C-alpha cells in the first residue's frame, strides 16, 4: 500500500480579510509573540491593520503581502507537532510562506523578503500601470495564442486549474485582449488587484529581490518545496535564482498540483486565508482530499479529521 502523503499549501495575494489572525493573537502566546516581532521588523503595527483596519488598508500591496505571509506562517507554527507535511508549495506570495514553513528561510528573513518584494512590486506597478483578469472556459493554448496576437503586452500570469488561466496586462492594452477572448467564446473576470503580477512588468522588482536574497542564508528545505517557476522541487542551490525569477514569470499552479499528486499526495491542507487553493485543487483532481485552516476553529477540525484518517489508514 502506498503511504498516504500530505501537502501543505499556502495562499497568495487576494485572500486577505479584515480580522485575519486576530483569534490566533488573542489565544496563542506563540502567535502573539510572532505577530509582535513582525510589528518590530516592519516598523509599523501591521496587526492593527490586519485585525481592525479597513479593506482599503489591507489592499495596499505593502500591507497585503506581509499580512498574508504572517497569517499563514504563524498558523503553521501554531500547528506544532501536527504540522507534518510531506511536501509544501505556495501560490505566488504563498511560496515564501511554504519556504519558511519548510525551514529553508527563517521567519525573520522571510518577512523582510516579503516586505521588500511588496515595496518593489508596488514601485513596478507605478512604473507600468497593469492589472489582471481570469480567463474561464478556454484551453490554455488558446489563451496563450490570443496573448501572443495582441498588440501590446498581455501575458499568462497564473496557470490555476484546467479551464482557468489568469493573465496580466497593461491597463491600456487589456481591453482589446478581453474583446478577443469574448470573440473566441471565453469569459473574462477582471480581478481586484493593484497590479499585474507575476509578469515581465515586474523585472525591476525581480532585480531588487536578487539583491536582497544575496544577503540571506537559504537552507536545504526539510521537505520538498515545489517552485512556481518550474513546478519542480527547490534545492538549496537553486532557491535564490527561483525566487528571483518567480515575480516575473507565471505561476504554474496546476502543474505543481499535478506533480505533487504524481509524487503520492492524496491530501492537501491549505494554511491561511480563504479557500481559493482548495477550490483550484479540486478542479485539478477530484480524487484528492482538501482541508483549509484559517483560524482556531478550522485548525482543530482539520487536525481531528487528519488524525482520524491516520487511525483508519
Q: How is residue 195 written as a grid cell? A: 497590479
Task: Report d(CA 166, CA 177) in Å as an integer.
Answer: 13
- List CB contacts of 127: < 8 A, sequence separation 6 or more: 201, 204
Instruction: Name the DSSP class of 46.
Output: H
* DSSP class of 82: G
Per-residue pLDDT of the chain (313 residues; tens, 9 = 90+): 356 799 999 999 888 899 999 999 999 999 999 999 999 999 999 999 999 999 988 988 889 999 999 999 999 998 888 888 999 999 999 999 999 999 999 999 999 999 999 999 888 888 888 899 999 999 999 999 999 998 778 999 999 999 999 999 998 888 899 999 999 999 999 887 778 888 888 888 899 999 999 999 999 999 999 999 999 999 888 999 999 999 999 999 999 999 999 999 999 999 999 899 999 999 999 999 999 999 878 888 887 887 777 776 5
Decide if 5 contacts 261 (C-beta within 8 A): no
The DSSP H or E segment spanning 267 is strand 265-271
- Is the overall model pTM greater than 0.85, yes or no? yes
How many Å apart are CA 10 and CA 40, to the nearest integer?
24
Whole-angstrom distance, CA of residue 245 vs CA of residue 225? 16
**How many alpha carbons fall within 13 Å on the CB side of residue 12?**
19
Amino acid at each position: 500500500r502506498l503511504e498516504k502523503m500530505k501537502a501543505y499549501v499556502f495562499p497568495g495575494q487576494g485572500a486577505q480579510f479584515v480580522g485575519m489572525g486576530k483569534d490566533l493573537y488573542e489565544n496563542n502566546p506563540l502567535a502573539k509573540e510572532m505577530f509582535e516581532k513582525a510589528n518590530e521588523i516592519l516598523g509599523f503595527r501591521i496587526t492593527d491593520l490586519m485585525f481592525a483596519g479597513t479593506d482599503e488598508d489591507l489592499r495596499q500591496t505593502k500591507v497585503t503581502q506581509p499580512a498574508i505571509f504572517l497569517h499563514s506562517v504563524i498558523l503553521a507554527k501554531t500547528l506544532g507537532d501536527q504540522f507534518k507535511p510531506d511536501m509544501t508549495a505556495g501560490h505566488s506570495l504563498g511560496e515564501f510562506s511554504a519556504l519558511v514553513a519548510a525551514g529553508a528561510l527563517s521567519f525573520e528573513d522571510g518577512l523582510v523578503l516579503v516586505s521588500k518584494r511588496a515595496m518593489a512590486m508596488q514601485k513596478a506597478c507605478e512604473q507600468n500601470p497593469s492589472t489582471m483578469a481570469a480567463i474561464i472556459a478556454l484551453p490554455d493554448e488558446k489563451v496563450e495564442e490570443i496573448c501572443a496576437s495582441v498588440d501590446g503586452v498581455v501575458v499568462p500570469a497564473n496557470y490555476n486549474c484546467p479551464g482557468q488561466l489568469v493573465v496580466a496586462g497593461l491597463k491600456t492594452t487589456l481591453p482589446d485582449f478581453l474583446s478577443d477572448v469574448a470573440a473566441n467564446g471565453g469569459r473574462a473576470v477582471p480581478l481586484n488587484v493593484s497590479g499585474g503580477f507575476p509578469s515581465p512588468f515586474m523585472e525591476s522588482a525581480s532585480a531588487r529581490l536578487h539583491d536582497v536574497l544575496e544577503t540571506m542564508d537559504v537552507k536545504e528545505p526539510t521537505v520538498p518545496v515545489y517552485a512556481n517557476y518550474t513546478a519542480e522541487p527547490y534545492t538549496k542551490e537553486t532557491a535564490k535564482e527561483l525566487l528571483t525569477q518567480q515575480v516575473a514569470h507565471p505561476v504554474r499552479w496546476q502543474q505543481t498540483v499535478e506533480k505533487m499528486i504524481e509524487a503520492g499526495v492524496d491530501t492537501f491542507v491549505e494554511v491561511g486565508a480563504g479557500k481559493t487553493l482548495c477550490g483550484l485543487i479540486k478542479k485539478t483532481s477530484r480524487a484528492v482530499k482538501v482541508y483549509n485552516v484559517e483560524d482556531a476553529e478550522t485548525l482543530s477540525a482539520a487536525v481531528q479529521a487528519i488524525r482520524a484518517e491516520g487511525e483508519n489508514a
